[in-house]
Structures are given as C-alpha cells and as structure tokens.
Amino acid sequence: TRTPVNVTVTGAAGQIGYALLFRIASGHLLGPDVPVNLRLLEIPQGVKAAEGTAMELDDCAFPLLRGIEITDDPNVAFAGANVALLVGARPRTKGMERGDLLAANGGIFKPQGKAINDNAADDIKVLVVGNPANTNALIAQAAAPDVPAERFTAMTRLDHNRAISQLAAKTGAAVSDIKKLTIWGNHSATQYPDIFHAEIAGKNAAEVVNDEAWLADTFIPTVAKRGAAIIEARGASSAASAANAAIDHVHTWVNGTAAGDWTSMGIPSDGSYGVPEGIISSFPVTTKDGTYEIVQGLDINEFSRARIDASVKELTEERDAVRELGLI
Ligand code: NAX
C-alpha cells in the first residue's frame, strides 16, 4: 500500500475547485492506485462552502481519498504538500488597472509561495491556475527561494487542449491523432498556439491545413479568446474544462508524455528560444519521471517568431511591473 500523496487546492470553494476535487479524489490526478489526502485552502468567507464540498466528497466514498483538511491558514494547507494547485486568485473587476490586479494577486501568491517554501514536502510540484497565472506563478516562485524554481509552473494546458480541439474540427481528424502542438508565451490573449511542428496522423499539421489566413484570422484568435466565448455562452467562466486541464497538466508532469508527443506548460525560462531567463512562459515540453524538459531545436519561422516575441514582451512587462511593486 502506497503512502497517500498530499494534494493542496486553493480556492477550493470556487467553481473550478468544485469541478476539480472530485476528479482528484477519484484518482484522475495521479493514477488509479495512488491514495490522496486533500488540503483545501480558502479565505475565511469560503471555508463553509468548502466544508460543504468536503461533505459531498465524503458521500462519494472514494476508495483513494484518505483524508480532507480545510483551513484558511496557508501554513497549514501546504504542510507536507506534494502537489499544490493554486486556483484561488483575485479576479479583475471593472475599472481595475493591471497594476492593481498584479498587486492584489501579489497579496495572495507571495504569502502562499512563502508558505510553500516553509512547509511543503521536498518533492513539491506547484501548478498555478489563478490568473494572471504566469505572473502569479513567478511571484510565488520568487517567494520560495528554497524550492527549485522549476517546480513552479503555470497552466496553459487548457489553451493546448482548446487548440487541439479546434484543429481536429477544422481537419476532421480525431483529437488522438494530433500531436506536438505548442502553446507559447502567456496564458492571455497574446498566447501563440503553434501548429507548424504539430502532426496530424503523422503529417505536418500546417501542411495539412495549408491556409495561413485561417491560422492568423480564425484559429489563433478562436483559441486565444475561447475563455471570453465561454463566458458569453455559459454566463460563467470555464470551470470543468479548466479543472480537466489542471488534471492533465499534473498527470502528464508526474506520469510522463507519450513517445512522439509533447505538451505545453508555463515554466521558468532557461533562455531557450530567446525567451528571457526566469520569466514563466509556455513552452513545448516532454516529461518523464516527474521532471520536464523543453523540446529543443525547433525551427521557428517568421510567423511564429513575431507572435512568440509579442507574448513574451507582455510577460516581461508583467515581470517588470511586479518587480516595481516589490513582489519579486
Ligand atoms: P471562483 O471565483 O469561482 O473561485 C475562486 C475561489 O478562490 C473562491 O472560492 C475564493 O474564495 C477563493 N480564494 C480567493 N482568494 C483566496 C486565497 N487567498 N486563498 C485561498 N482561496 C482564495 O473562480 P474560478 O472560476 O474557480 O477560477 C479560479 C481562477 O482560475 C481565476 O483566477 C480564473 O481567472 C482562473 N482561470 C485560469 C485558467 C487557465 O487556463 N490558467 C482558465 C480558467 C480560469 O479562468
């Protein structure tokens, strides 16, 4: 019998939390043979609702769920954490400037990074979902100097999955036939979904599509603005698909990418592909035995270069802004 893995989820009472916790507890995050302890972090006003979700989790009688702890104290929530999913964040409200948004989130992610630094298990893996995800991950990472920087990642897997789905719809291919798609840059409207290295049933995706106007005017904006389209249609932001992507991100990180494929993760840049070292930007990565590596040696054409650079520029501006605010 395996030792349970401690999984901390922040923003547990929110809508992504509600879609996420049941799948973690049923074994989809780490595997069908891995027991889990859940630690739910909420702000004081969210604790009661989190307790309600915990009651429902109990009522599922999940064989793999060994315990649930609910707290509003980050030091308690991250004690011994092996995996941390940072979902709770401060949303942008009307009239809020970017600086205000970054400052408000700094007030969340800086103390959480410190609590991870001081309390988490040595093998801690962190996924930041709460927006602005890349820069929130940078803030948390900077506040955790004793944790290897590469353990802090940001979620672009939802964008990755959205891009696969759009490409499948355009070409009539099965989603399982699409490999090596890449999201570059920021999880924002500047993100760049790249199909130039992607494959559809073994053929180059850009050649199969053979339609640069569709790429520039339909595919890229559809993927980048999908979150807004979901809000428009559903009257609420993506929740189940975001939770699914968080599950995919951690599952792939822990269990590895398939041979002949890769995934997209927001990770601290090592300078690859001209992305300034240290910012948390999305790259094509392969994973194995709980570690990841950037896919090297891809030829970046002019079309891609301009779009990667634009998204990276936004990330460096966000970094400079949080630096000025003393958050990193
Ligand atoms: P909700 O507003 O439903 O839930 C957020 C929860 O976080 C609330 O229960 C709130 O009480 C809690 N919270 C706030 N501050 C906290 C703190 N300091 N510690 C612990 N909990 C705290 O939002 P939801 O729809 O669940 O979305 C959560 C975040 O995911 C948002 O920031 C959202 O923008 C972001 N998203 C990121 C995506 C991505 O691809 N990276 C896609 C989906 C989503 O938009």
Convert the pLDDT of each residue in 171-188 to its tens digit. Answer: 999 999 999 999 999 999
Q: Give the mean pLDDT of 104-108.
A: 97
Angle at 109 between CA 310 and CA 280, to 5 degrees: 30
pLDDT > 80? residue 109: yes
Pocket test of ligand 1: the residue of 42, 53, 110 to mutate, having most ligand atoms within 8 Å of its CB, is 42
- Nearest Cα to 70, choosing from 23, 139, 8, 138? 8
The CA 189 to ligand 1 mean position distance, Å, reads 18
- Percent of the chain whose pLDDT exceeds 70: 100
Active site residues: 187
> Judging by DSSP bridges, how do beta strands 263-268 and 280-288 pair with one another?
antiparallel
pLDDT > 90? residue 2: no
For residue 52, say whether it is annotated as part of any ligand binding site: no
Q: How confident is the model at residue 91 (pLDDT cuts 50, 70, 90)?
A: confident
What digits encode the pLDDT tens for the residues 266-325? 999 999 999 999 999 999 999 999 999 999 999 999 999 999 999 999 999 999 999 999
**Distant-in-sequence, close-in-space partners of 126: CB < 8 Å, separation ≥ 6:** 83, 84, 86, 116, 137, 140, 141, 147, 151, 152, 153
Q: Give the mean pLDDT of 65-88.
A: 98
The CA 236 to ligand 1 mean position distance, Å, reads 12
- Percent of the chain whose pLDDT exceeds 90: 97
DSSP letter at 196 equals S
Q: Which residue has the tokens 């709460």?
A: 130
Length of the chain, please? 328
pLDDT > 90? residue 97: no
pLDDT > 80? residue 3: yes
Q: Which residues are bridge partners to 84 per DSSP?
A: 8, 126
Q: Which residue has the tokens 């702000």?
A: 43
pLDDT > 80? residue 1: no
Q: Whose CA is nearest to atom 35 of ligand 1?
A: 130
- Nearest Cα to 90, choosing from 122, 136, 154, 126? 136
Give residues (CB < 6 A) around ligand 1: 10-11, 13-17, 41-43, 46, 87-89, 91, 108, 129-131, 133, 155, 158, 187, 227, 237-239, 242
The CA 300 to ligand 1 mean position distance, Å, reads 34
